[in-house]
Amino acid sequence: MAIRICIFEDSKSFRNGLIELFSNIEGFEISGAFDTCDQLIKRLKQAQPDVVLMDIKMPGISGTEAVRQIRANGLPVKVVMQTVFEDDDKILAAISAGASGYILKNSPPAKFVEAVEEAHHGGAPMTGSIAAKVLALFQLQIPVAPTDSNLTAREKEVLQLLVLGKSYKMIAADLSISYVTVRFHMKNIYEKLHVTSMTEAVARAIQERLI
């Protein structure tokens, strides 16, 4: 089944470029493309995307505020922020609001495809520097006693690399396993930890000292 993508981007040329990119790749489908976040929730309910590509600096309702509205309404969609510069504060605010990750607008087309796929499968496309800041936020929370999670040794290895900010492809390379195998382990980790996203998995790992 194709990954349904909804684009929120005020630049017409950039928006059209993304539409053309994903429209010409098998396994993806554009379910909507908009230049503002007006009627955001209504549009998303109609479009029913799996992944949203959201410009962090949208006119009117900002990309970060849009993420907050998406999460407040309980929509089960992954949101990848698009930004021109790696502005740590703005990106961190968006991720804290519920974004799955981000991508720089000057990234090559293949990186956009990879980011959407990674987010769709529960990953969090972001650089190590941003991942470190996200982890620092979790570490500020009071840790609780270690919990018996029933994770296997391999699942703990995968989770540990995830905590370090590694992508699924990087984890696969580090452990000399396939990308599909990493996804299999992550599915088991999500089920055992009773979480639905990478951010929740990382939070549980740190708070409950699972690794």
DSSP 85-115: S--HHHHHHHHHHT--EEEETTS-HHHHHHH
- pLDDT tens by residue, 29-59: 999 999 999 999 999 999 999 999 999 989 8
Instruction: Evaluate if residue 150 carries a pLDDT over 60.
Output: yes
What token pair was written down for 68? 């907050």
Listed by start position, the domains of the chain span: 3-126, 142-207
pLDDT band at 11 (very low <50, low <70, confident <90, very high): very high
Quick one: fold of 3-126?
Rossmann fold (3.40.50)
Instruction: Evaluate if residue 124 carries a pLDDT over 60.
Output: yes
Number of Cβ atoms within 10 Å of the Cβ of 87 = 14
* H-only helix segments in 24-127: 40-47, 63-72, 88-97, 109-120
Least confident of 37-41, 93-97, 140-144, 148-152: 140-144
Quick one: fold of 142-207?
Arc Repressor Mutant, subunit A (1.10.10)
Q: Which residue has the higher pLDDT, 162 or 145?
A: 162
pLDDT, the chain, mean: 86
| pLDDT recorded at residue 136 | 65
Backbone Cα Rg of the chain: 17
| pLDDT recorded at residue 51 | 96
Can you tell me the distance from the alpha carbon of 73 to that of 116, in angstroms, rounded to the nearest whole number?
Answer: 22
Q: 29 phi and psi, to 5 degrees?
A: -145, 130
Can you tell me the distance from the alpha carbon of 112 to that of 128, in angstroms, rounded to the nearest whole number?
Answer: 17
Instruction: Evaluate if residue 207 carries a pLDDT over 70.
Output: no
